[in-house]
Amino acid sequence: MTSKERVLAAISHQEPDRVPINYIANPGINARLMKHYGFGTDEVDAFLDALGVDFRSVGPRYVGPRLHPEVPGRNVDPLWGIRTRWVEHQSGGYWDYCDFPLRTATVEEVAEWPMPSPADFDYSGVEEACKRYSQYAVVAGNPGLADIINSTGMIRGTEQVLVDLILDEPAGLLYIDRRLDIMLEVTRRTLEAAKGGIDLLWIGEDLGMQNGPLISLELFRKHIRPRHQKFVDLAKSFDIPVMIHSCGSSSWAYDDFIDMGIQVIDTLQPEAKDMSPAYLKEHYGDKLAFHGCISTAGAVAYGTVEDVKKEVMEILDIMKPNGGYCLAPTHCLQDNSPVENVVCLYETAKEYGRY
């Protein structure tokens, strides 16, 4: 099978030749892995092929002006104005969200906050990229597409976002709707430009803590679901399945996802409540396809090579039957993951994932 055929079969609950594989990693471990395999920074596709990755992402390129000025000591997103600061840790570092410039913003201030125009993206390369990756499962979007709580929290603070949703705060809801309207139109133009070359739309919304829901089902249905439904409906109008990313304990929302027309769930943190592979396969295996399950806080980060092999094999034993599963990390592979463990993860997936 080609990678495209493999993925489309799996998410249609058919058994392909092997379980499809995906990859996402932080820059530190990514650089070490590429060096291990002998690839330069310009050989990303060859590196992904070495891992057995069946997915490729495409999207438009932003060509508009910088909308937000630089700030000393901060990394400022030029399109949205989100600020981060560099935080060191034992195995590297990461950019952590800070300052939250719209935390106390009024409706008027949110209305005037610079945001990109869909016209400021160059869609001309989308079709060619789809053709270049025609043997792979071509994905548009990412876990940040349509995401409300997490992405709005990056500029308004998570606590304030939850208050916004609970109290129907006009400023917070205006920011959410301005941002999502832009993303929806960019997505529409991307799908149009692809001319049938995209196989999967990836959206996201972190709905869980480790031990339960982050918000109530009532709040989800009031503010999150209707806004996500626009993206699902758009994908359906192009006959494209939708995958939704959701960290933490999120299976409480799966019945709504099914009703919305979402077909694939991404992340699947096995240590969270009601998120074990066995639970998901038993309760939703005939209704949803899954993408994830390989914990970035488990054996890959803290175990031995043998621990990794055992964990991957156990998950495959549960998730492989009758298709419906794509193997992937639950989140970005972290910098504290030993190279040999990640290599073992992908070698085991390629070997033991065969039907």
Kindly list the domain boundaries of the chain, sorted by start residue. Answer: 3-65+112-352
Q: Output the furthest CA–CA distance in the chain (Å, rounded).
A: 58
Query: Regarding the domain delimited by 3-65+112-352, which CATH topology (the fold level of the hierarchy) does it fall under?
Result: TIM Barrel (3.20.20)
19-72: pLDDT as tens digits: 999 999 999 999 999 999 999 999 999 999 999 999 999 999 999 999 999 999
pLDDT for residue 192: 98
Number of helices (H), then strands (E), in the chain? 15, 12
| Phi, psi of 89, rounded to the nearest 5 degrees | -145, 180
**Is residue 222 pLDDT above 90, yes or no?**
yes
- Do 9 and 1 contact (CB within 8 A), yes or no? yes
Q: CA 141, 61, 224: angle at the middle one, nearest 5? A: 30
Give this prediction's pTM. 0.97
143-200: pLDDT as tens digits: 999 999 999 999 999 999 999 999 999 999 999 999 999 999 999 999 999 999 999 9
Nearest to 200 by CA among 157, 231, 154: 231
Nearest to 329 by CA among 297, 281, 300, 295: 295
Residue 55: both structure tokens together:
């997915």
pLDDT for residue 238: 98
Which burial class, exposed, middle or buried, applies to 188 when counting CB atoms under 10 A from its CB (0-12, 13-18, 19+)?
middle
Residue 175: both structure tokens together:
């920011």
**Is residue 346 pLDDT above 90, yes or no?**
yes
Nearest to 348 by CA among 54, 1, 55, 52: 52
Where does the pLDDT of residue 91 fall: very low under 50, low under 70, confident under 90, or very high at 90 and above?
confident
